[in-house]
C-alpha cells in the first residue's frame, strides 16, 4: 500500500514537472503514419521503395548525397528488388571519376555496381555555396538521425508497441510541413517556413509538388504520396537489413519461447520435492 | 564454503592430472557441489546473467574490433560498413550496443537486490566493494565504447565528461589536456578510448573472478538474510538446483534482450549519434546514455562545477561505504519494516533522478533534481545509520529451513496463497 502511494506520488511529481517542458518545445509533433516496415512482421514494400528511389533520384539527389549507398544495394535482398542487370543500367547512366590511369591522369567512366551514389557536390563548401550557405545532409542514415521528442509516458509505451519510426514520420511530416507562415512571423531571407522543422525556418525550399515525378504503377502523384515513398526509401537506405532483422527476430523468438518452456518444466521437476 | 568438493577423479589420467593441478576439483566444488541456500529467489539469478552479459559483450566486441577502425575521419563510416556490408554485422553491432544497456539493467537489479537483502553486511563487505569496483569499471568501459562510433553524441558526450576533470583545482586543465592528447577531443582521444575500451573488459573479468571467489568463500546471502546453519537442511547443491534455475532465468532475460536487438534496436540510443561528429555544431541537448542519467542529474543539480563533480563521484563512492553506513545487524528487509519502506523510497528517488537527468536543466527540473540529490545522500548518510539504531526488527526464523517450512505451512493452510 505504502509502496503504491510512493510510486503514485512520484509519478504525479514527474507529470507536474514534465508539463511545462512539452509546452516549451513549441514544434508540432509529427503524425504517426502507417508503414509497411513497422511492427514485428514489417517488411519493405518493393513498389514503394522503387517509387521512393525515383523521387530521390529525380528530386533529392540534385542536392543531397548518399555516400554509403552503392549501386549494388539496388539489387540486394530486402531492397527495392531491382535485378542485377537493372542496377547495372542505373549505375552506367552516371559518370564517375576513376584513376589515376597509366598516364597518371584521372578519367571519367560509366558507373559500376561497386561505385557509391555520386555526390552532387565535390565537397561541403561547394554544397554550401550552391545552397545559400546551408549544407544538405547526407541521406545514407538520415532516417535514423532524425527524431522528435515523445516525452513521458509515450516513450515507455513505444518500447512495447515497437515504435521505431520517429525518423520517417518526421521526414514525411517535414516534407508536408511547408505552409504559409502564421501572421506576425517574419521568415529570414533565404529560409522557408515549415511547421515541423525545429525553429520553423528551414533552408530547403519546398522540394515536392503534385505531379512532379511520374509514377508508372498508378500510385497517386501527390506530395503526400511522394513524401511517403521517399521516406520509406530513406528508411531502407538507413537500415538496409531491416527485413532480415525482423525475420530472424521472429525465428529467434520461436526458439527462445520453446527453449524457455522446456527449461521451466525441467526446473519444476528438479525442484519438485524441495521446499523453497 | 570451500572444502565441500566430493569430486573423485575416475580413471588413471584424471587422477594423474588432479594430483598435479586440481582444476576439475575446483570447478566441481564451485559449480556442482557448492551449497546454495534453498530459499534463493529469482533475483539471485542475475549474477549468472551478468556473467553471461560480460562474455556476450567481450565476444561481440572482439568481432566488431576486427572490422572497426579507430581513426576520426573514418570511424563513423567504418561502423556503417559493419552495419551494411559485414555479414550479420548489423546483428553483432546491435547485440553489442544493446548488450551494454542489458548489462546495466542486470547490474542495477543485482545492486538493488543486494541493498534490499543486506548482502553487503559482514562477512560480505569485500565482496560488495569488489562489486562497486566492477560497476565503476563498467561505467568507464561503456562511456568509452559510446565514443567509438564517432557520432555527435559520442563527440559531445566525450567533451562534457572529460571536461569534468577540469574542475579539479590547479591541475584540472593539465589533466584534461593529458586525457585528450590534444587541445580538444579528437583523433588521439578516440584512439586511446578504443585501446582502453578493449582493455577494461578484461580487467572487469579479472575482478569478477575475485568477486566470485569472495562469494564462494563466504557463501551466498539469501532472501531471509540468515546464515546457513546446517548444509544438509538449509542448502541444496549448485548443480542441478541453481544451474537449471539460472539457465531458465537467463533464457527469459535473453528474450527481453532479443526484443531490443531485433525489434527496437535504436530505442535506447540517441538519434543524434547517427550524425557524424562535428566539432563546430553542438547538439541542442547533450544527453548521456540512460544508465548514467541519475548521476548526470546529480552533477547538474549542484550550481558549482567542482561541487557537482564531487557530488557525482561521491554518489558512487558512497556505495563502497554502505557496509558501515548501515548500522543494523539484520540483513534482509523482510525483517526490517522501516528499512523496507525507505528502500522503496530510495528506489523511486534513483529512478526519478534518472528521469530528471534526461530533461533539460531548467525550471522545475532543477529544483526537483536538487531535492532528490539531497535525499540520495541523506538516505546513505543519515537514514541508514539512524535506522539501524531505532528500528525494531520483526521476529526472525531460527534457520533457513525453518523460514522455508514456515512459509510452506502457511501456503498449505491457506490454499491459493502465493508461495
For the stretch B271-313, pLDDT in tens is: 999 999 999 999 988 999 999 999 999 999 999 999 999 999 9
B409 pLDDT band (50/70/90 cuts)? confident
Give contacts of B352 with chain A, Cβ < 8 Å. 10, 13-14
Which residue's entry shows cell 508497441?
Answer: A161
**Model confidence pLDDT, tens digit, residues B94-107:** 999 999 999 999 99
Is the minimum CB–CB distance between A218 and chain B shorter than 8 Å?
no
Closest approach of A218 to chain B, Cα-based (Å): 32
Question: Residue B264 domain-assigned?
Answer: yes
Residues 164-203 of B with CB under 8 A from A: none
Q: A21–B359: do the CB atoms touch at under 8 Å?
A: yes
- Number of Cβ within 10 Å of residue A147's Cβ equals 16
Residue B365 in domain: no
pLDDT at B414 over 50: no
Chain center to CA of B349:
18
Domains of chain A: 37-180+210-259 (1.10.760.10)
> With an 8 Å Cβ cutoff, are B241 and A240 in contact?
no
Q: Do B90 and A245 touch (CB under 8 A)?
A: yes
Weakest mean pLDDT among A7-21, A37-51, B345-359: A7-21
Q: Could you tell me what percent of chain B has a pLDDT over 90? A: 93
**Nearest Cβ partner for B39 among A141, A241, A276:** A276
- Among all residues of chain A, which has the CA nearest to that of B87? A241
Distances (CA, A) of B124 to B217, B321, B322: 10, 12, 11
Helix then strand then coil, % of chain B, to nearest 5: 70, 0, 25
For residue B284, list chain A residues with Cβ-Cβ distance below 8 A: 198
Q: At what angle do helices B152-163 and B125-147 cross, to 10 degrees?
A: 130
In a domain, B196, yes or no: yes
Q: Do A144 and B266 make contact, defined as CB atoms within 8 angstroms? A: yes
Please, what's the largest Cα pairwise distance for chain A? 85
Interchain CB distance below 8 Å, A257 and B255: yes
Nearest to B267 among A18, A159, A270 (CB): A159
In SS3 terms, chain B reads as CCCCCCCCCCCHHHHHHHHHCCHHHHHHHHHCCCEEECCCCHHHHHHHHHHHHHHHHHHHHHHHHHHCCCCHHHHHHHHHHHHHCCCCHHHHHHHHHHHHHHHHHHHHHHHHHHHHCCCCCCCCHHHHHHHHHHHHHHHHHHHHHHHCCCEHHHHHHHHHHHHHHHHCCCCHHHHHHHHHCCCCCCHHHHHHHHHHHHHHHHHHHHHHHHHHHHHHHHCCCCCCCCCCCCHHHHEEEHHHHHHHHHHHHHHHHHHHHHHHHHHCCCCCCCHHHHCECCCCCCCCCCCCCHHHHHHHHHHHHCCCHHHHHHHHHHHHHHHHCHHHHCCCCCCCHHHCHHHHHHHHHHHHHHHHHHHHHHCCCCCHHHHHHHHHHHHHHHHHHHHHHHHHHHCCCCCCCCCHHHHHHHHHHHHHHCCCCCC
| Interface membership of A77 toward B (CB under 8 Å) | no
B348 and chain A: CB distance < 8 Å anywhere? yes
CA distances from B50 to B39, B103, B109 (A): 21, 6, 10
CA distance A194 to chain B (A): 19
Q: If you average pLDDT over residues B143-159, what whole number do you get? A: 97
Select the more confidently predicted residue: A12 or B272. Answer: B272
Q: Which residue of B has its CA nearest to A141?
A: B274
- B-contacting residues in A 9-28 (Cβ below 8 Å): 10, 13-14, 16-18, 20-21
For residue A271, list chain B residues with Cβ-Cβ distance below 8 A.
241, 244-245
Closest CA to B235 of B387, B38, B2, B393: B38
Measured between alpha carbons, how far is A58 from A212 in angstroms, rounded to an integer?
A: 9
CA distance B172 to B366: 26
Show the cell assigned to B382.
543519515
DSSP code at position A71: G
pLDDT at B3 over 90: no
In a domain, B292, yes or no: no
ipTM, 2 dp: 0.92
Domain assignment of residue B270, given as a range: 30-284
Residue A6: pLDDT over 80: no
Residue A25's pLDDT is 44
Q: Tell me if A260 and B364 make a contact (CB, 8 A cut-off).
A: no
pLDDT classification of A276: cutoffs 50, 70, 90: confident
- pLDDT grade for A68, boundaries at 50, 70 and 90: very high
CA–CA separation, B396 vs A225, rounded Å? 69
pLDDT band with cut points at 50, 70 and 90 for residue B110: very high
Reply yes or no on whether the pLDDT at B181 is more than 50: yes
Question: How many separate domains does chain B show?
Answer: 1
Residue B372, CB half-sphere, CA atoms under 13 Å: how many?
Answer: 31
User: Does A10 contact B258 at a Cβ distance shorter than 8 Å?
Assistant: no
Of A7, A159, A256, Cβ closest to residue B254: A256
Residue A162 contacts B, CB cutoff 8 Å: yes
Any CB–CB contact under 8 A between B29 and chain A? no
* CATH code, domain carrying B73: 1.20.810.10
Is B258–A263 a contact, with Cβ atoms under 8 angstroms apart? no
Radius of gyration of chain B (CA): 24
Hey, is the C-beta of B212 within 8 angstroms of any chain A C-beta?
Answer: no
Q: Which of B262, B275, B351 sits opposite A249 (nearest CB)?
A: B262
Question: What is the pLDDT, as a whole number, of residue B1?
Answer: 42
Average pLDDT over residues A4-12: 50
Chain B residue with minimum CA distance to A167: B271
Q: Chain A contact for B90, CB < 8 A? A: yes
Q: What is the pLDDT of residues A165-202, one digit of tens each?
A: 999 999 999 999 999 999 999 999 999 999 999 999 99
Tens of pLDDT, residue by residue over A229-256, are: 999 999 999 999 999 999 999 999 999 9
CA-CA distance, B251 to B265, in Å (whole number)? 19
Decide if A179 touches B, using CB distance below 8 A.
no
**String of DSSP letters for A115-172:** SBPPPSSSSHHHHHHHTTT--PPPSTTHHHH------TTHHHHHHHTT---HHHHHHH
Report if residue B370 sits inside a domain. Answer: no
Cell numbers for A198 = 525545429
pLDDT in tens, A80-93: 999 999 999 999 99
Is a pLDDT exceeding 80 seen at residue A7?
no
With a cut of 60, say whether residue A213 has pLDDT above it. yes
Q: Around Cβ B70, how many Cβ atoms within 10 Å?
A: 20
Burial class (CB in 10 A: 0-12, 13-18, 19+), B338: middle
Residue B174 domain flag: yes
> CB within 8 A of B326, min separation 6: which ones?
B118, B120, B121, B384, B385, B387, B388
Retrieve residue B338's grid coordinates. 522501516
User: Tens of pLDDT along B116-142?
Assistant: 999 999 999 999 999 999 999 999 999
Q: A249 and chain B: CB distance < 8 Å anywhere? A: yes
| Residue B116 forms part of a structural domain | yes
Any CB–CB contact under 8 A between A167 and chain B?
Answer: yes
Establish if B236 belongs to a structural domain. Answer: yes
Taking CA–CA distances from A262, the nearest residue in chain B reads B248
Closest chain B residue to the Cα of A4, Cα to Cα: B344
Other beta carbons within 10 angstroms of residue B15's beta carbon come to 12
Is B265–A248 a contact, with Cβ atoms under 8 angstroms apart?
no
Amino acid at each position: 500500500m505504502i509502496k503504491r502511494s510512493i510510486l503514485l506520488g512520484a509519478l504525479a511529481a514527474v507529470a507536474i514537472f514534465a508539463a511545462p517542458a512539452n509546452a516549451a518545445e513549441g514544434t508540432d509533433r509529427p503524425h504517426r503514419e502507417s508503414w509497411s516496415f513497422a511492427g514485428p512482421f514489417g517488411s519493405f514494400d518493393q513498389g514503394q521503395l522503387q517509387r521512393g528511389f525515383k523521387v530521390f533520384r529525380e528530386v533529392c539527389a540534385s542536392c543531397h548525397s548518399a555516400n554509403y549507398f552503392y549501386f549494388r544495394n539496388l539489387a540486394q535482398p530486402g531492397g527495392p528488388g531491382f535485378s542485377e542487370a537493372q542496377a547495372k543500367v542505373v549505375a552506367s547512366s552516371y559518370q564517375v571519376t576513376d584513376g589515376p590511369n597509366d598516364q597518371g591522369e584521372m578519367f571519367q567512366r560509366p558507373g559500376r555496381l561497386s561505385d557509391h551514389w555520386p555526390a552532387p557536390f565535390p565537397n561541403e563548401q561547394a554544397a554550401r555555396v550552391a545552397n545559400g550557405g546551408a549544407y544538405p545532409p547526407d541521406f545514407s542514415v538520415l532516417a535514423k538521425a532524425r527524431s522528435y521528442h515523445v516525452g513521458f509516458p509515450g516513450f515507455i509505451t513505444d518500447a512495447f508497441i515497437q515504435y521505431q519510426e520517429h525518423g520517417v514520420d518526421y521526414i514525411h511530416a517535414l516534407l508536408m510541413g511547408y505552409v504559409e507562415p502564421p501572421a506576425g512571423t517574419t521568415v529570414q531571407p533565404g529560409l522557408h517556413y515549415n511547421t515541423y522543422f525545429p525553429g520553423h525556418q528551414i533552408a530547403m525550399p519546398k522540394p515536392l509538388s503534385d505531379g512532379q515525378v511520374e509514377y508508372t504503377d498508378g500510385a497517386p502523384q501527390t506530395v503526400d504520396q511522394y513524401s511517403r515513398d521517399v521516406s520509406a526509401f530513406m528508411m531502407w537506405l538507413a537500415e538496409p537489413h531491416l527485413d532480415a532483422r525482423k525475420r530472424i527476430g521472429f525465428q529467434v523468438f520461436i526458439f527462445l519461447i520453446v527453449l524457455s518452456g522446456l527449461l521451466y518444466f525441467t526446473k519444476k521437476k528438479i525442484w519438485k520435492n524441495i521446499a523453497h | 564454503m570451500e572444502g565441500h568438493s566430493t569430486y573423485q577423479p575416475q580413471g588413471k589420467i584424471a587422477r594423474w592430472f588432479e594430483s598435479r593441478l586440481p582444476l576439475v576439483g575446483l570447478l566441481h566444488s564451485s559449480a556442482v557441489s557448492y551449497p546454495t541456500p534453498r530459499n534463493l529467489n529469482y533475483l539471485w539469478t542475475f549474477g549468472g546473467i551478468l556473467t553471461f552479459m560480460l562474455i556476450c559483450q567481450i565476444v561481440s566486441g572482439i568481432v566488431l574490433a576486427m572490422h572497426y577502425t579507430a581513426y576520426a575521419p573514418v570511424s563513423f563510416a567504418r561502423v556503417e560498413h559493419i552495419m551494411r556490408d559485414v555479414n550479420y554485422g548489423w546483428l553483432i553491432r546491435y547485440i553489442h550496443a544493446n548488450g551494454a544497456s542489458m548489462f546495466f539493467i542486470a547490474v542495477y537489479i543485482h545492486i538493488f537486490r543486494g541493498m534490499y537483502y543486506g548482502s553487503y553486511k559482514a562477512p560480505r563487505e569485500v565482496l560488495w566493494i569488489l562489486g562497486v569496483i566492477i560497476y565503476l569499471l563498467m561505467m568507464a568501459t561503456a562511456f568509452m565504447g559510446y565514443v567509438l562510433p564517432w557520432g555527435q553524441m559520442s563527440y559531445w558526450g566525450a567533451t562534457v565528461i572529460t571536461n569534468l576533470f577540469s574542475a579539479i583545482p590547479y591541475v584540472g586543465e593539465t589533466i584534461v589536456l593529458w586525457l585528450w592528447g590534444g587541445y580538444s577531443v579528437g583523433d588521439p582521444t578516440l584512439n586511446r578510448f578504443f585501446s582502453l575500451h578493449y582493455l577494461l573488459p578484461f580487467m572487469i573479468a579479472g575482478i569478477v573472478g575475485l568477486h566470485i571467489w569472495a562469494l564462494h568463500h563466504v557463501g551466498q546471502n539469501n532472501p531471509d538474510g540468515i546464515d546457513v546453519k546446517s548444509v544438509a537442511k538449509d542448502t541444496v547443491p549448485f548443480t542441478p538446483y541453481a544451474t537449471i534455475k539460472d539457465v531458465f532465468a537467463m533464457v527469459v532475460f535473453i528474450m527481453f534482450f532479443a526484443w531490443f536487438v531485433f525489434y527496437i534496436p535504436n530505442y535506447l540510443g540517441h538519434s543524434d549519434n547517427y550524425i557524424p561528429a562535428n566539432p563546430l555544431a553542438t547538439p541542442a541537448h547533450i544527453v548521456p546514455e540512460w544508465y548514467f542519467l541519475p548521476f548526470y542529474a546529480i552533477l547538474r543539480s549542484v550550481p558549482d562545477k567542482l561541487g557537482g563533480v564531487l557530488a557525482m563521484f561521491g554518489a558512487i563512492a558512497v556505495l563502497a561505504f554502505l557496509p558501515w553506513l548501515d548500522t543494523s545487524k539484520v540483513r534482509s528487509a523482510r525483517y526490517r519494516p522501516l528499512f523496507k519502506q525507505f528502500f522503496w523510497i530510495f528506489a523511486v528517488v534513483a529512478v526519478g533522478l534518472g528521469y530528471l537527468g534526461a530533461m533539460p536543466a531548467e525550471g522545475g527540473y532543477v529544483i526537483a533534481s536538487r531535492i532528490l540529490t539531497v535525499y540520495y545522500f541523506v538516505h546513505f548518510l543519515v537514514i541508514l545509520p539512524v535506522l539501524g539504531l531505532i528500528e525494531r526488527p520483526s521476529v526472525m526464523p531460527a534457520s533457513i529451513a525453518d523460514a522455508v517450512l514456515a512459509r510452506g505451512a502457511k501456503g498449505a493452510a491457506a490454499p491459493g496463497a502465493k508461495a
